[in-house]
Every structure is written in C-alpha cells, then in structure tokens.
Structure 1
Amino acid sequence: MSTPTLTTADRRAHVEAQGPVRAAPAARPARTVLERFPAGAPRGQWPAESFAAEQRRQGVPARVVMDLASDSFLVIVEGER
C-alpha cells in the first residue's frame, strides 16, 4: 500500500487549518535592578544617568532603562549579581 501524497493546495489548506503559529516567548536575560528613579525629575537633572555613570566609573556595567508600567527609570546590570 502506498502512502498518499498531498497536493500543494491540500498542504496549504492543512497548514491554514492549524491556525496561527505561536512561538515560545523569547528568553529574557537575567537583570539586576540597582536603583529606581521616578520619571518626573526636575528639568535638567538626570539622576538615573548620573547614578549609572558613577557605577560605570566603579567598573559596574550599569545602564538605564525605562519601566513604563511604573513610570520610572531603572539602573540595571545584565546578569545575576
């Protein structure tokens, strides 16, 4: 007995019937939050950037990211500490 082969149209219909393909969420690198700063700092002051610059001077590879959910700037280090 031979194995039936699908036509191109049948294959396409089979794939479309499966619905959207869901990929696994991308793995996020571990981060350590060193400090949080409110986003409403006085004009001309950048406390999160100043703190991160001080950390970098001490050899810590810190960077600033925005946390939209809490409306604050986070000074983070990639990886576990």
Structure 2
Amino acid sequence: MSATALAAADERAHDLASYRRTAPPAPKPARRVLESFPAGAPRGQWPAESYAAQQRREGIPAHVVMDLPSDSYLVVVEVAS
C-alpha cells in the first residue's frame, strides 16, 4: 500500500465526510422594520441601538440588523407568520 492510498473503510468515510449536503435553506423569520438609520453615524453615536433600546423599554422586542445593500441599520421586530 502506498502512502497516498486509503483503506476501503477510510475512503468511504472520506467520501461521506466530503459529501456536500443540499438541505433547503432555513426560512427567514418575518420581520417588520420600525426604523432605518444610515450607517455613517458620528463616532460614538449609535442611533439605531438607542432607538431599539427605547422600543424595548416600551415593551417592543426590537433589535438591530445591518442591511448591507442599503448600507444602513434597521430596527426590526419579528412578526408571527
């Protein structure tokens, strides 16, 4: 057996581990955008985070996500679908 040859069981294990599984993508939760803030806020100011914190204090489970295509921060809440 050469240094690069694999035993049959090892070759099968390698093939199984290398198999690219194609599972459907996980469904994204439905979201409602409460507010949008440009990403270019002055250093030390996080208006999206401040707004989300204010919403949470009022009982709305808001959180901030980054929208890369628009280069902005979105304050969102997940809605029941």
TM-score, length basis structure 2: 0.69
Q: Which has the larger radius of gyration?
A: 1
Ranges of 4+ aligned residues in structure 1 off by more than 2 Å = 20-23
Query: In the alignment, which residue of structure 2 is the partner of 1:43?
Result: 43
1:69 shift after superposition = 1.3
Aligned residues: 67
- SS class of match (1:66): strand
1:73 shift after superposition = 0.3
- SS class of match (2:50): helix
Mapping 1:20-39, distance limit 5 Å = 21-39=21-39
- Identity within the alignment, %: 71
Question: Alpha-carbon deviations, 1:26-61, whole Å to 9, x = none?
Answer: 111111110000000011111001100110010000
The two structures, once aligned, show a CA RMSD in angstroms of: 2.2
Q: Structure 1: which 5+ residue stretches go unaligned?
A: 1-11, 13-19
1:21 shift after superposition = 5.0
Q: Structure 2: which 5+ residue stretches go unaligned?
A: 1-11, 13-19
**Alpha-carbon separation, structure 2, partners of 1:21 and 1:53:** 40
Query: In the alignment, which residue of structure 2 is the partner of 1:7?
Result: none
